[in-house]
């Protein structure tokens, strides 16, 4: 049950801006002079493989890592040299970092206790936040008595205690099983809309970023490869790295230029079958290496006979003919030129 706004006070959202921000660890450059603006009230996902700089970027926003060069602005205020507590942010760590000897209620109320808030007042406030995340029934349980998803809810309630303007989440779903991960994704999105504050969420899961974010920021080797809405990033990848990392794309070459065609827009037919009038730059001979059944469709892995990198095509279960399109079958591949998207050099 979502607590009404009259009980849980919402903070105003703050935009976040990174200006030429770099982070060095000794001689290693983890983040290389990035520029990024996250609008207030947005749900932003920093997406990329391990070591791409996304967690270092999040920790610099939080103030848990010092910026080597550049500036961090939150709500238009330069906070580059300010301590985390002064930034108006709160962070949910990957490990949740709950005190094992305290109940869920006391975990949430802990910072108020440190500040000398009276017991009754701090427990009342903590109870309101536990109700927001549907954890009132577990208020007296300790972390060891809670599931991973329940611990995450407690960590979220604790992070919201001081009414942050930005909530920072470091791979918050990575420790959960797949079913619970999907459930918690929906909950995070709902809480973000209810609270109205800026969320910045680090993940290496393309599916997670696509389902949650208003703004997806794809990172690689300390650089921002591309940022935009999930639709823009998926349907118009800017670079070969983005296309391959997001998956569901084929990277092809023609006349020295690279372009992508989505896997669901790549057509296949048994060799000798005319592709029809929709054929564009296609007519590529391939061998089916594998046909992977995925319920409503099959994922076809194809090896071009000219030695080009493998291609992937999605076809419906109804279209699949194991005799003519099964492993080792010779097929023709084509695509509509309108679905070919050029990549940056």
Rounded to whole angstroms, how far apart are CA atoms 108 and 129? 8
Over the chain (345 residues), what is each successive 10-residue block's mean pLDDT?
A: 45 90 96 97 96 97 97 96 94 87 94 88 92 92 92 91 92 85 89 92 95 97 97 95 93 86 92 56 84 92 91 92 92 91 87
pLDDT digits (tens, 9 = 90+) for 113-144: 888 889 999 999 999 999 988 899 999 999 99
Rounded to whole angstroms, how far apart are CA atoms 148 and 160? 19
pLDDT value, residue 6: 36
- Long-range CB contacts for residues 8-11, cutoff 8 Å, separation at least 24: 8/128, 8/129, 8/132, 9/163, 10/163, 10/195, 10/196, 10/197, 11/88, 11/163, 11/164, 11/165, 11/195, 11/197
Helices (H), 115-260: 119-132, 148-159, 178-195, 206-212, 230-235, 240-246
pLDDT value, residue 278: 42
pLDDT digits (tens, 9 = 90+) for 158-204: 999 888 999 999 998 887 888 888 888 998 999 899 889 999 999 99
CB 69 within 8 A of CB 148: no
CA diameter of the chain: 81
Rounded to whole angstroms, how far apart are CA atoms 174 and 26? 28
pLDDT value, residue 255: 77
Beta bridge partners of 90: 167
CATH topology of domain 250-342: OB fold (Dihydrolipoamide Acetyltransferase, E2P) (2.40.50)
Which residues have C-beta within 8 Å of that of residue 4, sequence separation ≥ 6? none
CA 236 to chain CA centroid, Å, is 17
Q: Hey, what are 105's tokens? A: 């209620």
Which residues have C-beta within 8 Å of that of residue 80, sequence separation ≥ 6? 67, 70, 71, 72
Distances (CA, A) of 199 to 154, 166, 236: 17, 6, 24
H or E stretch covering 10: none
Lateral strand order in the sheet of 257-262: 249-254, 257-262, 341-342
pLDDT value, residue 1: 36
CATH architecture, range 16-235 = 3-Layer(aba) Sandwich (3.40)
Where does the chain hold its CATH 3.40.50.300 domain(s)? 16-235
CB 170 within 8 A of CB 55: yes
Where does the chain hold its CATH 2.40.50.100 domain(s)? 250-342
pLDDT value, residue 2: 39
């Amino acid at each position: 049950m979502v607590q009404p706004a009259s009980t849980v006070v919402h903070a105003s959202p703050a935009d976040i801006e990174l200006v030429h921000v770099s982070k060095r660890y000794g001689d290693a450059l983890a983040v290389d002079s990035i520029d990024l603006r996250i609008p207030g009230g947005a749900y932003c996902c920093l997406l990329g493989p391990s070591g791409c700089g996304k967690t270092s970027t999040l920790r610099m926003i939080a103030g848990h890592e010092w910026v080597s060069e550049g500036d961090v602005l939150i709500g238009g205020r330069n906070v580059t040299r300010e301590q985390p507590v002064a930034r108006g942010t709160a962070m949910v760590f990957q490990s949740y970092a709950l005190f094992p000897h305290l109940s869920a209620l006391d975990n949430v109320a802990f910072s108020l206790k440190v500040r000398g808030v009276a017991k009754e007042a701090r427990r009342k406030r903590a109870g309101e936040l536990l109700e927001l995340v549907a954890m009132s029934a577990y208020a007296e349980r300790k972390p060891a008595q809670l599931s991973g998803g329940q611990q995450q809810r407690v960590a979220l309630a604790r992070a919201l205690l001081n009414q942050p303007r930005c909530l920072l989440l470091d791979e918050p779903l990575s420790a959960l099983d797949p079913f619970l991960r999907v459930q918690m994704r929906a909950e995070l999105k709902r809480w973000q809309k209810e609270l109205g504050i800026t969320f910045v969420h680090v993940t290496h899961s393309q599916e997670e970023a696509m389902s949650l974010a208003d703004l997806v920021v794809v990172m690689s080797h300390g650089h921002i490869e591309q940022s935009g809405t999930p639709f823009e990033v998926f349907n118009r990848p800017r670079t070969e790295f983005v296309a391959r990392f997001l998956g569901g794309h084929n990277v092809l070459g023609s006349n020295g230029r690279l372009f992508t065609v989505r896997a669901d827009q790549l057509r296949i037919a048994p060799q000798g079958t005319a592709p029809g009038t929709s054929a564009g730059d296609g007519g590529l001979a391939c061998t089916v290496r594998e046909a992977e059944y995925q319920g409503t469709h099959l994922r076809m892995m194809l090896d071009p006979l000219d030695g080009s990198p493998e291609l992937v095509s999605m076809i419906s279960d109804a279209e699949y003919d194991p005799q003519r399109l099964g492993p080792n079958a010779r097929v023709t591949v084509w695509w509509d030129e309108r679905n070919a998207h050029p990549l940056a050099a």
